[in-house]
Amino acid sequence: MMMTASALALGLGLGAAQAQDDPIKIGMAAYGLNAEFMQLWSAAGEKHPAVESGMVELTIFDGRYDALVQQDQFETMITQGFDAIVFAPMDVEAGATAVQLAVDAGIPVVGSNARVNSDLLTAYVGSNDVEAGYLEAKAVLDKMGCQGAVVIIEGPIGQSGEIQRGEGNEKALAECPDVKILERQTGNWSRAEAQALMENWLTAHGNDIKGVIGQNDEMALGAIEAIKAAGMDVADFAIAGVDGVTDALNAVKAGQMDSILQDGEAQALGSIDVAIKAVKPDYEPMSAIWEQYPDMPWNNGADKEYNVPWTPVTAENVDALLATRQ
């Protein structure tokens, strides 16, 4: 499935010579668009100033959570002569083949949000998932007073988010050696799958579970639904996720969980800036994120890695974050 965001050169804010140029064709390859986070990421791409002005013709691809589907989409972009690709891979290893195919065809690939095991990327624009995994697990363990037992709901096995957030989880757990891990299993970033897992774990372990480490918000929210369905009190559990999706922000506001905001909008906008730079060497970035995050300087688009900072969601900032979703 693909959606053309902008195919018309409107020429808004562009010089006459630039407006006469053919638009730059960029493909945004998302690993899957069922959940809100990737929807926010892709929607941000459509709002990039270069897309809205017609300088860039952006096509968004839904990888349907399948590395082979993503590789097929790369082959389509190569055949259709795309100028650059922004890639959020489903699998850290399998995605390397797709990158190789594009680079062999002379198409620069910018990684975004999720990592791929390839040194052929022009650059990576994402966030440090090890740090996120540490922060969310520490939030759970602090609430537990470093005592009791937890369950871990993991992302898709083999995706960089699962690997690196898991590494961060382990780092925090190592600081609480008395905490026992009762269960850990993938929920595939899915609220429904996580709810089913948690229902089974509550049946098996009941009140022994004191903490839930969800490697994303959707899965933490699924655990909350399972707890409610079992007639238990959510307040008796320490629960955290990652991403800052809208339902999680509301759950933080209600005191049901902790979350760490991942700025997918900044990742998408920044990766498009870097992709355009790879095609037009004289390009200056058009998105505002470089001013928003001064600790992540543009450096003329030459860096190999740009890490968008995490923002812990708190009672003090949750309303402002919710206002951005209106």
**283-324 per-position pLDDT tens digit:** 999 999 999 999 999 999 999 999 999 999 999 999 999 998
CA distance 118 to 111: 10
Residue in the block written with tokens 């639904």: 225
Q: What is the DSSP string of 12-65?
A: TT--HHHHTSPPEEEEEEES--SSHHHHHHHHHHHT-HHHHTTSEEEEEEE-TT
Phi and psi dihedrals of 73, rounded to 5? -70, -35
CA distance 240 to 211: 8
Q: Which residues pair with 62 in a beta bridge?
A: 30
80 Cβ neighbours under 8 A, 6+ residues apart: 25
| Residue range 199-239, pLDDT digits in tens | 999 999 989 999 999 999 999 999 999 999 999 999 999 99
| Residue range 137-168, pLDDT digits in tens | 999 999 999 999 999 999 999 999 999 999 99
- Residue 164 three-state SS: helix
Contact 308, 266 (CB under 8 A): yes
Does the pLDDT at position 11 exceed 60? no
Record the pTM: 0.85
